[in-house]
Structures are given as C-alpha cells and as structure tokens.
Amino acid sequence: MDRAADPSALAIGELVGPHGLRGVVKVQLYNRDSDALKPGLRVELRRDQARAVFYTVLSVESVTSKGQARVLLQGVGDRDVAEALRGAVLWVARADLPPLSADEFYLADVIGLPVLRHHAGEEQSLGEVTSYISNGAQDLFEVAWTSPAGARHTWLLPVLPQFIEDLGSDALRVRLPLGMLPEPLELEDAP
C-alpha cells in the first residue's frame, strides 16, 4: 500500500534486480557490512522522498562479496514483481536500526551541518555538508562553500577519523592537511 514516507527512516540500499524466479530481490547495500535487514523487519520502498510502499522482510541472505543482500519481501512472489521494484530505494525506520557505538554516526545526520575548523585562533567556516557519496573505498561528504565574492565551490571531505575532530548537533568540526580545500580557502592559509 502506498503511504506517506517515514521522515525519520534512513536509506540503506537500492533494489538492483531480481534473483531467481520466486520474487527474491537483490539489494545493493550502501554499507556493505550492514546487518540491518532481518526477517520480520518492516521496510519502505521509495521511488521519491514523499511516498513509500511498505513490505515485511521474510528472509535475508547476505552476499558479502558483492555488498548485497538477497531479500524476500512479503507480497513479492515472482520474478516479474521483483523486476518491477528495480531502482527503488530501501528505507528502514531509525528505531529498527542496530544501535550505534559511541564513536559512530549516520552519514545522513550530517547533511545540512556547517563544517568548521580552528584557524588562526578562531573558527573558520568551510561550507555546509550537502550530501555524501562513496567511491567504493571510503565515504565522502560533499561540502559546498560560497566565497565572500559569491563564487560557489564544492569539495569532498573523506569521512575518516583523522579528519573529523568533533561532530555535534550544531556543526562538524574538522582538522585538514593542506591541499584538501578549494583554492580560495587554501590561500587563506598562506603566510
């Protein structure tokens, strides 16, 4: 049934096609090590942010070599129905996700936060996190920064412990080596 999407849910993967003839779908997980999918879990499939179709997970088989899971959803009984779901994004309610360790966070929770660093005795704005991507080896935040002259620059911040100083509800504070910032910000570092 098509209903309003849960605004607190997090996307954990995309349906990339059917597996076999009995309705099993292949889910490409955004976090290849995720163990969020479990039998009995209620999930949302979305093709847009506002509307969702809800399903219950009946079975899950991990395919760790591909970062995928083969999932049987209640009501998806054959290959044609599974094929029709290709391209849908799979969302899970935040309350149904495994608990986080003290040093973990959800990438989605950082979108919209300002990125700050200590520079010359004060906090310097380096932009705002607009999205995240993965290059297969690591996750990256896309950060947009607008210069005082109005030029917009986009740069990528690797989501690695050596670059993240602190993550609070108000900002992402970072420490970065030379060469990671847009040229106008790097020039501010020049002696």
In the chain, CATH 2.40.30.60 sits at 2-96
Residue 190 has pLDDT above 70, yes or no: no
Which of 23-27, 32-36, 112-116 is least confident? 32-36
Percent of the chain at pLDDT exceeding 70: 94
In the chain, CATH 2.30.30.240 sits at 107-189
Fold annotation for 2-96: Elongation Factor Tu (Ef-tu); domain 3 (2.40.30)
Percent of the chain at pLDDT exceeding 90: 51
Q: Can you tell me the mean pLDDT for 50-60?
A: 90
pLDDT of 43: 95
Of the candidates 35, 34, 24, 12, the residue with the CA atom closest to the CA atom of residue 89: 12
Over residues 141-154, the pLDDT tens digits come to: 999 999 888 889 99
Kindly tell me the burial class for residue 44, based on how many C-beta atoms sit within 10 Å of its own C-beta (0-12, 13-18, 19 or more). Answer: buried
Quote the tokens at residue 105.
Answer: 């966070």
Predicted TM-score of the model (pTM): 0.73
Which of 15-19, 67-71, 78-82, 183-187 is least confident? 183-187
Fold annotation for 107-189: SH3 type barrels. (2.30.30)
Alpha helices (runs of H) in the chain, residue ranges in sequence order: 79-84, 183-189
